[in-house]
Amino acid sequence: MKVAFIGDIVGRPGREMLEKHLHKIRIEYNLDLVIANYENASHGFGLTKKNCEELLSYGVDVMTGGNHSWDKKEVFELYETEPLIRPINYPNSSPGKGLIEIEILGKSVAVINVMGNYTMPMCDNPFIKVDKIINELLDKGIKHIIIDIHAEATSEKLAMMHIVKDRVSALFGTHTHVGTDDLAIIDGCCYVSDVGLTGCRDGVIGMDRQIPLQRFMTGIGGHYTIPKKCQKILQMIIFELDENGRGINAKKLKIYDNGKEVKLDAQIESYNLN
């Protein structure tokens, strides 16, 4: 099973990169499933119905969220009709769900979205919540389990990796918009602390740099916007799973708007040394 995971899609520039490249990537890598994080896809904050339909038409199959999941209120109704999820550790009474199960190549695949604690909205303990959900999925015979951990702190992401690595197929970090270079398959679990944004690469985490710089230099904030013109990048992880949901290989793919492509293969290693 060949899967792609795209990190935070930030505004129109991010959507344009998917429109331009995703279809041919699906063909080139023979992808069976594409997962992408939507929480910044509409003007940098949340997701509209129009942009949801747009991303699905480009070849995204499942979309995960984060702390901006509900910024556009029209998303509430989309949870009932589209393959969207939000962090599973929000209260059960919150709109949407944090887990989706789909059938791919005769296998049940579970995609989970969970949010960290540090600097994030108040939610249930992500570690306890995910640990319980994974055990329930395994009891149902589901071995292909992919998690988007939307968190600020790399320490939380690494801790989650140690908790789940022997039981899930992949754990990918989102939220910081800055890609990390620690892609690895660890005891069969594909992992990276942050995939990195798809959108403008020459601003501040995908946003126009004027207001962030003003805030850092003067303490005076303002409304963050997406630049109308910028230098863009698409960042994604492409990985392959075996019949038991264990990672076989993985690579980071970066595509720049000037056509340059950068590929980095995952380190394959074991942390079970005892």
Domain boundaries, the chain: 2-269
First to last CA, the chain: 30
196 neighbors 173 (Cβ within 8 angstroms): no
22 neighbors 9 (Cβ within 8 angstroms): no
CATH of domain 2-269: 3.60.21.10
Q: Residue-wise pLDDT tens for the chain (274 aa)?
A: 999 999 999 999 999 999 999 999 999 999 999 999 999 999 999 999 999 999 999 999 999 999 999 999 999 999 999 999 999 999 999 999 999 999 999 999 999 999 999 998 889 999 999 999 999 999 999 999 999 999 999 999 999 999 999 999 999 999 999 999 999 999 999 999 999 999 999 999 999 999 999 999 999 989 999 998 999 999 999 999 999 999 999 999 999 999 999 999 999 999 987 6
**From CA 189, how far away is CA 192, in angstroms rounded?**
10
pLDDT at 20: 97
pLDDT at 274: 65
| Active-site residue, 68 included | yes
**From CA 8, how far away is CA 199, in angstroms rounded?**
8
Q: Which of 21, 68, 144, 175 is catalytic?
A: 68
**From CA 115, how far away is CA 15, in angstroms rounded?**
23
Of 160, 12, 32, nearest in space to 88 by CA: 160
Of 213, 247, 73, nearest in space to 145 by CA: 247
pTM: 0.96
Strand order in the sheet with 184-186: 99-104, 107-115, 144-150, 170-174, 189-192, 184-186, 267-269
